[in-house]
Amino acid sequence: MKTIVSYQGERGAFSEQAAKAYFGKNSTAIARESFHDIFQDVAKRRSSYAVVPIENSLFGSVHQNFDLLWKFKVYIVGEIKLRIKMNLLALPGVTIKDVRYVYSHPQALGQCEKFLRTLKRVAVTPFYDTAGAARMVAEEHRRDSAAIASSQAASDYRLKILRAGIESDHKNFTRFLIIGRKRIIPRRHPKTSIIFATKNIPGALFKCLSVFALRNINLLKIESRPIVGAPWEYLFYADIEGDAGEFERVNALNHLQELTTYYKNLGSYETGGNVNP
Amino acid sequence: MKTIVSYQGERGAFSEQAAKAYFGKNSTAIARESFHDIFQDVAKRRSSYAVVPIENSLFGSVHQNFDLLWKFKVYIVGEIKLRIKMNLLALPGVTIKDVRYVYSHPQALGQCEKFLRTLKRVAVTPFYDTAGAARMVAEEHRRDSAAIASSQAASDYRLKILRAGIESDHKNFTRFLIIGRKRIIPRRHPKTSIIFATKNIPGALFKCLSVFALRNINLLKIESRPIVGAPWEYLFYADIEGDAGEFERVNALNHLQELTTYYKNLGSYETGGNVNP
């Protein structure tokens, strides 16, 4: 039986590429409209997993998904870092001289700013989705327009790649989390993600980090998000090296709970490698 | 002579309210299209100050402005926390039954979700700006439409307030920073903002925070942002209590520079109070 995986966006979205790269061909990727939908799919057993973009190396965190990790009873079971390659797509036969309009998601347009400045007499227009822009150009037979999207979107909507790799900085990766309903035990390169709120005591965050530092447990990342209804108070999202089931980590995380007013263990999983689609 | 202050958005924007609340009537607020423009206005002496939204208590940080604080040679000279009140605005004579379309910025629509669900047969449509939505309803004489925006926008564009205070959570504040070209010496309730990147050593962030914790210097906030061109490396933005010129703080910030590969002092300034427009 095929594994069913939810992703946000249209067919040809970067999230779909991440789903295919992680789960391989023996999986069915389901396109959903919102991030909330894909979390709900997992929680309500409509799919086994969801592929969640959490951070882009140029633009930073996708905060909505941090909030959904806090809200839903799901666990992180894997990670993948996808190299994001942007391409200029148009209908077959259209040349770059014919292009008067370029459509894409604002983030994608931002990533291709240097390239776009080299085009003359072209209106650059924000669109809600990269793959959606490709679909629109194809379905409306727009011979004066191009979309910026993945190479997968080119083949899905039968468009031609006019220019490949047009992003300004090639060190452009998006980190995706794989979420499921059950915790897993990672086999190699484990990491653990947690959420916590500090007690209102002096040096609170310093003391929370001490539970890791004094045990030589590497802190990989820390991020703060506002607590709704409590202005200027924050939840911290931290990634630490190692599996939460190891002796020192069990102690460290118990120690952390002495110092926090809220604590959630999002799960331990294998650190994802970089993947070229 | 009037103080010239740049803000992002159209006339009636919340940023304009913040500018007026901070600088009073003896100031001229200049509307600019982008955040980049208002930083550049200050750097290039086109205005004395800019009013920069940095964080909303419901939605979190405005990351673009963190990046601009890093990029431009400007200093933080003040802070103000503006209570954000959302209102449903329409042309005079229009009643709530006439409204078929509601326009506003996606963040504002999100903040009024509960109220919007009570409306029947209404299309909720995202617009690039709250004040811009109000202007559009007014200029196009849309008798079937309403905008969600500030009460200032209502008077600027001669619209009527159909419903006031329609945001779902009333603890809704936006924190604005005032930026200028010169450091100031704050008189009371001082705080200091810094940016740093940690050395690649074990327990790096813990050691950086120790320079404050071991001196009982309160860390008010910490936030991370990706470093462009260095995937999965981060700049930290921290706010600490007190003036950077005080003896222990001078020592703490010198100590911090032993542990960092990048350091920038954004300035010391008075902690802003909550303001009702």
Q: Which residues in chain A have Cβ-Cβ distances shorter than 8 Å to B174?
A: none
**Rounded mean pLDDT, B142-157:** 96
Give the whole-number percent of chain B exceeding pLDDT 90.
79
Stated as kind and residue range, the H or E segment containing A210 is helix A204-213
Contacts B216 to A, Cβ<8 Å:
202-203
CB pair distance less than 8 Å for A57 and B213: no
pLDDT tens digits along B157-198: 999 999 999 998 888 899 999 999 999 999 999 999 999 999
Residues of B in contact with A226 (CB under 8 A): 55-60
Measure Cα distances from B52 to A104, A132, A140, B45, B58 in Å.
Answer: 28, 33, 41, 16, 17
Mean pLDDT (whole number) for A182-189: 96
What is the arithmetic mean of pLDDT over B247-251?
97
| pLDDT computed for residue A230 by the predictor | 87
Give the pLDDT of residue B73.
97
The fraction of chain B above a pLDDT of 70, given in percent, is 100
Nearest to B173 among A207, A210, A231 (CB): A231
pLDDT band of B129, cuts 50, 70, 90? confident
Number of Cα atoms under 13 Å in the Cβ half of residue B73: 4
Judge: B171–A229 Cβ closer than 8 Å, yes or no.
Answer: yes
Tens of pLDDT, residues A209-257: 999 999 999 999 999 998 878 889 999 999 999 999 999 999 999 999 9
**B-chain residues near A210 (CB < 8 A):** 206
**pLDDT-based confidence at residue B117 (cuts at 50, 70, 90):** confident
Catalytic residue among B174, B192, B198, B260: B174
| pLDDT at site B133 | 94
Alpha helix (H) residue ranges in B11-60: 14-23, 35-43
Q: Which residue of A has its CA nearest to B274?
A: A231
Check A206 against B212: CB less than 8 A apart. Answer: yes
Alpha carbon distance B121, B98 (integer Å): 10
- Predicted pLDDT of residue A144: 96
Alpha-carbon distance A196 to nearest alpha carbon in chain B (angstroms): 14
Cβ within 8 Å, pair B221-A234: yes
Q: Which residues in chain B touch residue A228, judged by CB atoms under 8 angstroms apart?
A: 58, 169
SS3 of residue B202 by DSSP = coil
State yes or no: pLDDT of B99 exceeds 80: yes
Is pLDDT above 90 for A81? yes
Domains of chain A: 3-83+172-183 (3.40.190.10), 87-164 (3.40.190.10), 190-270 (3.30.70.260)
Measure in Å the smallest separation between the Cα of A29 and chain B Cα atoms: 27
The answer on pLDDT for B100 being more than 80 is: yes
User: Environment class of residue A248 by beta-carbon count within 10 Å: exposed (0-12), middle (13-18) or buried (19+)?
Assistant: middle
CB pairs under 8 A between A and B: 88
What pLDDT is recorded for position A138? 97
Contacts of B196 in chain A (CB under 8 A): none
Residue A34 has pLDDT above 90, yes or no: no
Q: Pseudo-torsion of CA B257, B259, B265, B270, nearest 10°?
A: -110
Q: In chain A, which residues touch B (CB < 8 A)?
A: 55-60, 63, 81, 169, 171, 173, 175, 202-203, 205-207, 209-210, 212-213, 216, 218-219, 221-226, 228-232, 234
Burial (CB count within 10 angstroms: exposed 0-12, middle 13-18, buried 19+), residue B30: middle
* B66: closest CA of chain A, how far (Å): 11
Q: For the residues of A226-268, what is the DSSP string, one character each?
A: EETTEEEEEEEEEEEES-TTSHHHHHHHHHHHHSEEEEEEEEE
Name the residue of chain B whose CA is nearest to A126's CA.
Answer: B128
pTM of the full structure:
0.88
Residues of B in contact with A80 (CB under 8 A): none
Q: Do A60 and B63 touch (CB under 8 A)?
A: yes
Judge whether residue A169 has pLDDT over 90.
Answer: no
Interface residue ranges in chain B relative to chain A, Cβ cutoff 8 Å: 55-60, 63, 81, 169, 171, 173, 175, 202-203, 205-207, 209-210, 212-213, 216, 218-219, 221-226, 228-232, 234
String of b and e for B230-266 (b: at least 16 CB within 10 Å)?
ebeebbbbbbbbbbbeeeebeebbebbeebbeeebbb
- Looking at residue A31, its pLDDT comes to 95
> pLDDT band at A37, cuts 50/70/90?
very high
Predicted pLDDT of residue A261: 96
Among A203-212, A232-241, B113-122, the range scoring the smallest mean pLDDT is B113-122
| Nearest Cβ partner for A202 among B169, B216, B221 | B216
Global ipTM = 0.84
Chain A residues with CB-CB distance to B212 below 8 A:
203, 206
pLDDT band (50, 70, 90) for residue A87: very high
pLDDT at A176: 98
What average pLDDT does range A70-94 have in this prediction?
A: 97
Average pLDDT, chain A: 94
pLDDT value, residue B34: 87
Chain B's closest residue to A201, CA to CA, is B218
Catalytic residue flag (residue B206): no
Tokens encoding A174: 């998006």
Place B18 in a pLDDT band, splitting at 50, 70 and 90: very high
**Rounded mean pLDDT of A73-87?**
96
B23, B39, B176, B236: the catalytic one is B176
CA distance A206 to chain B (A): 6
Closest residue on chain B to A111 (Cα): B228
